[in-house]
């Protein structure tokens, strides 16, 4: 099979494209003919060596995939050849990834692709969708009628948080960087979309949140959270969710934090069990069918351009270039 792979960690240019053996599925595994895979920031951290996990070289990056079942192992019970599936959690903890024509995936990490959803959409929504659902509901306890704020309402995670929060009946404030992204974010359902460059941004957020007594759930996507600013905008018993910024060390004003019964919640998608992630996947599939969620694709590229795709992701995640709305999707 053709695959994108590395033989040592390093820059995006370390990614090679060539032929590797097609994997054989183990007893509980499914061989998926990959129709699409997407790029996530964690893929670049693993490739670069910034996050240390066991890698067996040649190593194929990529967490997310969607495609068609080609063959199944002897103990597989839920899936059969010909089924369309999507999933995430590959390339982690020693597993091989998804940037290839075929991938062997344990059936516990795969879910049926809804009718009408393309492989590109399913792959684009995999990790960001599971992440958003875990953060909002398992960890954040978002409820109907609450007020949520999210930074970057058109990004991979941000656009998903907006749509899932609206599907759950919440009111959403989001920030974006320009008028085009403002219109896009409004089309996703956000109730209030603000320009994060505005000198009156914090006053505008407070004005919107005043009638609610503050913000119930603050979803922080920034790598350097400003907790002192955030805490001053929260409603009593509000929840602040962080899911980025491994090296961040922000000041925490303990007084206003504890006297308002606030909670600071950190989580990582890959800590969730297969059963916890399946709950997310089933809800995501239902919302897609009901027209309440559409994964956002920012760029589609051929698998052979995996190195360029990793570079583009890094420019936007680390370099804050702002040239990407939605996910990068690669197709074999």
Cβ(233)–Cβ(206) below 8 Å = yes
Q: Which contiguous run of DSSP H or E holds residue 71?
A: strand 64-72
**CA–CA distance, 30 with 72 (Å, rounded to integer):** 4
pTM of this prediction? 0.95
pLDDT for the residue numbered 49: 95
Query: Chunked in runs of 10, what are the mean pLDDT values of the chain (332 residues)?
Result: 98 98 98 98 95 94 98 98 98 96 98 98 98 98 98 92 98 96 96 96 97 98 89 98 87 94 96 98 98 95 98 87 85 97
Cβ(244)–Cβ(224) below 8 Å = no
**CA–CA distance, 171 with 252 (Å, rounded to integer):** 27
Those residues with Cβ within 8 angstroms of residue 204's Cβ, 6 or more apart along the chain or in another chain? 194, 198
pLDDT for the residue numbered 113: 98
**CA–CA distance, 170 with 293 (Å, rounded to integer):** 14
Residue 186 phi, psi dihedral angles, 5° rounding: -65, -35
Q: Which contiguous run of DSSP H or E holds residue 31?
A: strand 29-39
**CA–CA distance, 29 with 138 (Å, rounded to integer):** 27
């Amino acid at each position: 099979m053709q695959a994108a792979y590395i033989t040592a960690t390093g820059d995006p240019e370390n990614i090679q494209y060539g032929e590797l053996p097609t994997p054989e599925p183990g007893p509980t595994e499914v061989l998926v003919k990959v129709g699409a895979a997407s790029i996530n920031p964690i893929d670049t951290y693993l490739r670069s060596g910034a996050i240390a996990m066991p890698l067996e070289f040649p190593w194929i990056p990529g967490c997310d995939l969607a495609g068609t079942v080609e063959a199944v192992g002897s103990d597989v019970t839920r899936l059969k050849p010909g089924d369309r599936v999507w999933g995430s959690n590959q390339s982690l903890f020693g597993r091989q990834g998804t940037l290839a024509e075929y991938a062997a995936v344990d059936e516990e990490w795969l879910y049926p692709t809804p009718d009408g959803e393309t492989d590109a959409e399913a792959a684009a929504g995999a990790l960001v969708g599971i992440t958003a659902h875990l953060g909002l509901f398992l960890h954040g306890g978002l409820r109907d009628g609450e007020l949520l704020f999210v930074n970057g309402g058109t990004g991979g995670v941000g656009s998903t948080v907006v749509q899932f929060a609206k599907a759950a009946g919440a009111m959403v404030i989001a920030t974006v960087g320009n008028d085009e992204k403002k219109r896009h974010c409004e089309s996703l359902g956000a109730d209030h979309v603000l320009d994060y460059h505005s000198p009156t941004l914090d006053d505008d957020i407070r004005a919107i949140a005043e009638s609610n007594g503050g913000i119930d759930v603050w979803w922080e996507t920034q790598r350097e959270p400003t907790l002192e600013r955030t805490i001053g905008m929260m409603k009593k018993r509000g929840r602040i969710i962080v899911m980025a910024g491994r090296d961040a060390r922000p000041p925490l004003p303990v007084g206003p934090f504890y006297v308002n019964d606030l909670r600071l919640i950190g989580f990582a998608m890959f800590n969730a069990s297969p059963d916890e992630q399946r709950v997310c996947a089933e809800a995501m599939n239902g919302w897609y069918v009901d027209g309440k969620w559409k994964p956002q694709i920012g760029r589609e590229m051929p698998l052979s351009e995996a190195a360029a795709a990793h570079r583009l992701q890094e420019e936007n995640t680390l370099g804050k270039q702002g040239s990407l709305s939605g996910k990068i999707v690669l197709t074999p």
